[in-house]
């Protein structure tokens, strides 16, 4: 690991160190290892929840799907195929459709995601394309979170 990667792990290491220091050890008891492990696990779970945020389970599913794709197809390196005149025009139309739908009160996640995908496809500059794809991923994650909230609410009813 390089110095930058180690620096990123310092807060987590501090949590583990604190968990070890605060774990009660009772003389004559043989369950100290279990108590220590539980304490470390709890502290790391809280740290990861704060670090990764509420979308961590969704992002873990996305990573699992990426792992499946890599296992099936190997590393993929295709040309972007974006930025054509047609794609830029389609992005403009998608943007207008999304704005119109929300202005009229019937906007949906579908409108938002479609607009973001079309904007990504319209980009030929790699840095701008990357930024647009991050927006696509963020909207898809937000949509999944909304589905999960709605499903949980319906199940509780």
Reported residue count of the chain is 157
The verdict on residue 121 lying in a domain is: yes
pTM of the model: 0.69
Is residue 68 assigned to a domain? Answer: no
Residue 101 lies in a domain: yes
Arithmetic mean of pLDDT, 6-17:
82
Note whether residue 129 is domain-resident.
Answer: yes
Give the whole-angstrom CA distance, residue 91 versus residue 120. 8
Task: Confirm whether 77 is domain-assigned.
Answer: no
Q: Judge whether 43 lies within some domain.
A: yes
Say yes or no to pLDDT of 26 above 70.
no
Place of tokens 């996305």: 62
Which residues, including other chains, have CB under 8 Å from residue 15's CB and lie 6 or more apart?
43, 44, 46, 47
Q: Does the pLDDT of residue 81 top 70, yes or no?
A: yes
Domain count, the chain: 2
* pLDDT higher than threshold 80 for residue 112: yes
CA distance 33 to 24: 10
CA atoms within 13 A on the CB side of 39: 17
Domain that includes residue 132, residue range: 85-156
**Assigned domain for 66 exists:** no
| Spatial contact of 32 and 26, defined as CB atoms under 8 Å apart | yes
| Per-residue model confidence (pLDDT) at position 57 | 84
């Amino acid at each position: 690991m390089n110095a930058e990667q180690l620096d990123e792990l310092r807060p987590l290491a501090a949590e583990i160190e604190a968990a070890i220091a605060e774990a009660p050890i009772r003389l004559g008891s043989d369950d100290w290892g279990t108590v220590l492990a539980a304490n470390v696990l709890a502290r790391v779970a809280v740290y990861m929840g704060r670090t990764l945020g509420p979308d961590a389970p969704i992002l873990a599913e996305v990573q699992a799907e990426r792992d499946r794709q890599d296992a099936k197809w190997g590393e993929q390196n295709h040309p972007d195929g974006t930025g054509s005149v047609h794609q830029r025009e389609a992005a403009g139309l998608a943007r207008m459709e999304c704005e119109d739908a929300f202005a009229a009160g019937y906007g949906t996640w579908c409108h938002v995601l479609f607009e973001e995908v079309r904007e990504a496809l319209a980009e030929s500059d790699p840095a701008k394309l990357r930024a647009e794809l991050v927006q696509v991923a963020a909207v898809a994650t937000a949509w999944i979170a909304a589905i999960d909230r709605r499903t949980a609410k319906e199940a509780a009813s």
